[in-house]
Amino acid sequence: MLAVLAIVAAGVTGYLLYEEKSRVAALQQEQAILQSSYDEKLKALQRRLVSAIVASGNSPGLPSQPGQPAASGKAGDQLADLITRQIELEARQALLGALTGQAVGPILPQGGAKAQGGNQFADGQNVLDRVNPAILAQQRRQVAAAVKAAETMSLDQRIAILGQSLDRVQNGQNQQLPALGRQLVGRVQEVKAALSEIGLDPAKVKLPPGQPGMGGPLIPMTVKPGTFEHALMQLGEARAVFGRWRDLATIVPFQRPVPTDDTTTSNFGPRSDPFTGGTAMHAGMDFRGETGTPVHAAGAGKVLRAEVAGGYGNLVELDHGNGVTTRYGHLSAFDVKAGQIVAAGQVIGRVGSTGRSTGPHLHYETRLSDEARNPLKFIQIGDKLTVGPSGLR
């Protein structure tokens, strides 16, 4: 009897699972159909809107000539199509502008910890300021001449010229996406070169995790090769790769721990010990600072310890992953505790003179596999990464 019930239960379960899979499959198919038709519906709506504008004789960018009737019929349809294309190309251009900012902007925020909350991308106005005024004046004259010549053209001629202009814009946009992809690949190489300079092997480093957890039923979308959408999808993959390497660059201690004052009282290497006068190895850099001056994390990481540690006095030590650690000594106060996760540039303590110290300053160390490395090299590389490929900060 129990066996029979088990078989019946299994059969019912199988049937329910089959029904559930069928419903899911039907839902996926329905969603795929809706998704595939969404863009066409949007374009049709845009076209109806601009057709109404054209029919009223108020076409933007195409002022009616005195005595010229509103466009209708085939010409009206052509104008509506052109305006719809213009709307689409303008939306694309706004997207390209944002993507360009990521591709040419600095990898690290400008000024390290000093630029918290600032824009990490290049300022577009800085680029415009460097354009030759004579070239701009020539372009304005060309545009003015083209507009004046268009005043004597027939509607069909003006439609043809507008179409050619939009074709040029579209072709340029289609070429810009692959160029941005190549630019992003170059930015990844910049980060890898920076890591090599400080002794890390780019082939062995552990990258931060990629996109957060996501899920849901798979609804494939067909993207035709050679289209703007296809190039955009490929660029998205390059952006994801670059994003992970850029995130790693913010974890590695490339920023300055005391950004308000670059003055150092003692550098890395052999020196005359301030207490004994004999030659001794100095494993870090000493940054000048008044007691209480904020000390910033040179990179994102986990607090290994925040405690009194012999000659260091009050010490904060951060683990940045991949064998990289930093130490901040002689602090007058702690702003973090062991086990805490801190962001690059976050205040972790205050300048002081605790431990083996002759006066207020920050003793700062960078270590790789617990071996002291020159912090200045990290800082100099970080300064390079705050500059975009165009040399703009």
- Per-residue confidence (pLDDT) for residue 266, from 0 to 100: 83
- Reported as a single tens digit per residue, the pLDDT across 148-181 is 665 676 777 777 877 787 788 778 877 888 888 8
Residue 87 domain flag: no
**Are the C-beta atoms of 327 and 364 separated by less than 8 Å?**
yes
Q: Which residue has the higher pLDDT, 224 or 249?
A: 249
Confidence class for position 134, pLDDT limits 50, 70, 90: low
Place of tokens 């020539």: 138
Which residue would you say has higher pLDDT here, 229 or 307?
Answer: 307
Does some domain include residue 29? no
The secondary element (H helix, E strand) that includes residue 76 is helix 73-104
Q: Is 311 part of a structural domain of the chain?
A: yes
142 burial type by CB count under 10 A (0-12 exposed, 13-18 middle, 19+ buried): exposed
For residue 246, pLDDT beyond 60:
yes
- What is each CA distance from 282 to 201, 286, 351, 365, in whole angstroms? 26, 9, 19, 10
Q: Which residues pair with 280 in a beta bridge?
A: 271
Note whether residue 202 is domain-resident.
no
Residue 347 lies in a domain: yes
At residue 120 the predicted structure's pLDDT band, cuts being 50, 70 and 90, is very low
Domain CATH code at residue 282: 2.70.70.10
- pLDDT at 50 > cutoff 50: yes
Residue by residue, DSSP assigns 267-299 as: -SEEEE-TTT-SEEEE-SEEEE--TT-EEE-SS
Q: What is the pLDDT of residue 10?
A: 40
CA-to-CA distance for 32 and 218, rounded, in angstroms?
Answer: 9
Per-residue pLDDT at 207: 92
Q: Is 293 domain-assigned?
A: yes
209 residue type, one letter: P
Number of domains, the chain: 1
Asked whether residue 380 carries a pLDDT value surpassing 90, the answer given is yes
Range from 92-96, 225-229, 367-371, 389-393 carrying the lowest mean pLDDT? 389-393
Residues 25-47 have a mean pLDDT of: 50
Q: Is residue 268 part of a domain?
A: yes
Question: pLDDT tier at 140 (50, 70, 90 boundaries)?
Answer: low
The pLDDT score that the predictor gives to residue 232 is 83
Examine the pLDDT at 77 and tell me if it is beyond 70: yes
Helix (H) or strand (E) holding 382: helix 375-385
**pLDDT value for 103:** 77
Instruction: Provide CB contacts within 8 A for 295, sequence distance 6+.
Output: 257, 258, 289, 316, 328, 331, 347, 348, 349, 350, 351, 362
- Which DSSP state fits 131? S
Range of the domain at 287: 264-375
Dist. CA 187–CA 177, nearest whole Å: 15
H/E element, 88: helix 73-104
Of 42-51, 208-217, 220-229, highest mean pLDDT: 220-229
Scored b (16 or more CB within 10 A) or e, 85-101 reads bbebbeebeeebeebbb
Q: Answer whether residue 65 shows pLDDT above 50.
A: no
Cα gap 74→80, rounded to integer Å: 10
* 280 domain residue, yes or no: yes
pTM to 2 decimal places? 0.67
- 231 and 225 in contact (C-beta within 8 Å)? no
**Is a pLDDT exceeding 50 seen at residue 5?**
no
pLDDT in tens, 323-349: 999 999 999 999 999 999 999 999 999
Number of H helices, E strands in the chain: 7, 13
Q: Check residue 346 and give its pLDDT.
A: 96
Residue 61: predicted pLDDT = 47
DSSP β-bridge partners for residue 364? 285, 328
Q: What are phi and psi of 120, to 5 degrees?
A: -85, 0
Are 59 and 71 in contact by the 8 Å Cβ rule? The answer is yes
Distance between CA atoms of residues 120 and 132, nearest Å: 26
Measured CA to CA in angstroms, residue 244 lies from 21, 93, 240 at distances of 36, 25, 7
3-state secondary structure (DSSP) of residue 201 = coil
Mean pLDDT computed over every residue of the chain: 75
